[in-house]
Amino acid sequence: MNKIAIYYYILFCAVLLASCADEEPVQDETPPNILFVMSDDHAFQAISAYGQNLNHTPNIDRIAKEGAIFTRATVTNSICAPSRAVMLTGKHSFINGKVDNVQPFDWEQDNFPKLLQANGYQTALVGKIHLDGLPTGFDHSMVLKGQGHYYNPDFQVNGEMQRFEGYVTDLTTEFALDWLDNKRDKSKPFCLLYHQKAPHRNWKPSPRYLTLFDDTTFTPPANYFDDYTNRGTAAKEQEMKIDGHAGWGHDFKMVIDPDGNPTGFDKELARLNDVQRAEWEAAYNPKNDAMKAAKLSGKDLAIWKYNRYIKDYLRTIQSVDDGVGDVLDYLDANGLAENTIVVYTSDQGFYLGEHGWFDKRFMYEESFRTPLLIRYPKEIKPGTKIDKLVQNLDFAPTFLDYAGIEVPQDMQGKSFRKLMKGEDDTWRDAVYYTYYEYPSVHMVKRHYGVSTERYKLMHFYYDIDEWEMYDLEKDPSEMNNIYGDPAYADVQAMMHERLKELRMEYGDSDENDEKFLKAYLDHRNGKK
Ligand code: SGN
Ligand code: CA
């Protein structure tokens, strides 16, 4: 080789090497599958990964162990149907229109499953959605009507009602697996919304868990006997006390109450078939007889009620956890675990005796927060813990982000994909909340508010006009309303400012509140 040839040869090799070095590593372009598991009213306190020691949920915990757990995931409106509307649309209630459980939901508007579908995904919705009408955006839907039944439920299968024999949580899992295994187009990525009815009121356990916890006595939370001193009128006037508003039949599952009066619960039991009913009675009759024989009163009775409530609630969760185990096993067995984003969440949190309550609705922590655990081995390091304020508003943008689809401008949430990779240091400092359904069951007054990581400011309105503020660092159980406390004057001014800014940013106003109040009252008065 002459000198020139050697020169060109070296140059050629150098260019080749440089171009190799510049080349992007080969990316796996297959869009991820999305398995979105949601339960109904599942408090974070009842997931063992959150460390409260109430129960053991090994399968749900697995998601956190192999992925991320969020300690400050919240909802924008703590009630079932509105929460689902926010999750689907990525827009606050006052924008998507579904502000309470009574207003109709407009399925014509955009939702994230529609966008995934338009971009090559197979989509399905199985279980509870609590939004009337035929769900749009899904290749397959199999949903309970309204709240649905625990035993022998009716499902609307792609629009057609059908009754199924069995326990709702197990059936929902079975239908979800059937779609994954037999009904979808396996050449496409999938998005499955697998949404359990449990642990929604009235907490009917499956036959296999009717006696779980029979040998355990639970101690109620420290503020179970809360007398609401230092709180506003809203906390005092709610109707969601375990010892006060829960009933002997529907909630405590007695056919005859301790005073010997029929409760009407036998009408509910009539839905069970003979085998189910015999198992039910064999489990509950001895417990009910023992309780009556003990002739409890006062605090002892209140603690018994808490125990009946929490045990039934946790029993229903055990079936939810089993179902999560089954679907995780399915992903493993079919080589899908690596490329599937698995999300576990609830439509909102719930009170497990804190402040003496069951139910949700308030912007206080237990119902404002919701559990959130996510696994995606390709991007999320096992054991990731996230303390930032994320909301159910963020699901739609996050899923679209993962799928490589542009997030529509009018979606109000924010993708937390980067947050989970530890690559987002500009995350929001505050979140906005609204609640509308009043007067209604449980009588939680209308309110809206703002929460930062440390403080929370709320305005209760309509038949009262009261402000509450809490210092979550000093008072995590929100027992002491510091609104008006001179020591917090600066914080209060700052929180008012943040509230004003967020209402502006998201497009909320007093006019909205009046509009939705009028629609609600019209509905109650039979005008709509
Ligand atoms: C039902 C429940 C209430 C619950 C609402 C809303 N009663 O009315 O306790 O607050 O649903 O729940 S019960 O008949 O189910 O016992 S939501 O999850 O649908 O918003
Ligand atoms: Ca709910």
Among 37-46, 307-316, 384-393, 416-425, the minimum mean pLDDT is found in 416-425
Best of 195, 251, 441, 443 to mutate for ligand 1, by most ligand atoms within 8 A of CB? 441
| Size of the chain, expressed as the number of residues it contains | 528
Predicted pLDDT at 28: 59
pLDDT digits (tens, 9 = 90+) for 64-113: 999 999 999 999 999 999 999 999 999 999 999 999 999 999 999 999 99
CA 31 – ligand 2 centroid, Å: 31
Q: CA–CA separation, 76 vs 83, rounded Å?
A: 7
Question: Does the pLDDT of residue 27 top 90, yes or no?
Answer: no
**Mean pLDDT, to the nearest integer, of 135-143?**
98
Q: Name the packing angle between helices 168-178 and 298-333 (round to 10°).
A: 10
Phi, psi for 489 (deg, rounded to 5): -55, -45
pLDDT of residue 23: 47
**pLDDT value for 425:** 82
Work out the pLDDT band at 317, boundaries 50, 70, 90.
very high
Of the two residues 32 and 528, the one the predictor is more confident about is 32
Tens-digit pLDDT profile for residues 429-438: 999 999 999 9
pTM over 0.85: yes
- Which residue reads 């197979």 in tokens? 122
Nearest alpha carbon to residue 389 among 498, 527, 291: 498
Q: Which ligand is nearest to the CA of 350?
A: 2
Q: pLDDT tens across 187-202, in order?
A: 999 999 999 999 999 9
CATH of domain 33-204+308-524: 3.40.720.10
Q: What is the pLDDT of residues 256-285, one digit of tens each?
A: 999 999 999 999 999 999 999 999 999 999
pLDDT at residue 20, as a whole number: 46
Whole-number mean pLDDT of the chain?
A: 95
The residue assigned the tokens 């179970």 is 224
Give the span between the Cα atoms of 123 and 118, in whole angstroms.
10
Q: How far, in Å, from the CA of 200 to the mean position of ligand 2? A: 6
pLDDT band at 10, cuts 50/70/90? low
Contact 74, 451 (CB under 8 A): yes
pLDDT at 29: 73
For the chain, give the percent of residues with pLDDT over 70. 95
Q: Relative to the CA of 40, which ligand 1 atom is closest?
A: 18
SS3 357: strand
Asked if 451 and 431 touch (Cβ cutoff 8 Å), the reply is: yes
Q: What pLDDT score was predicted for residue 8?
A: 52
Question: How far does residue 76's CA lie from ligand 2's centre (Å)?
Answer: 13
Ligand 1 pocket: which residues have CB below 6 Å?
Answer: 40-41, 79-80, 101, 130, 147, 200-202, 250, 359, 441-442
Q: Where are the domains of the chain?
A: 33-204+308-524
Residue 377 pLDDT > 80: yes
Maximum pairwise Cα distance, the chain: 111
Of all atoms in ligand 1, which is nearest to the CA of residue 348?
18
Band of pLDDT at residue 424, cut at 50, 70 and 90: confident
> Given ligand 1 and candidates 38, 77, 144, 147, which is best to mutate, with the most ligand atoms within 8 Å of its CB?
147
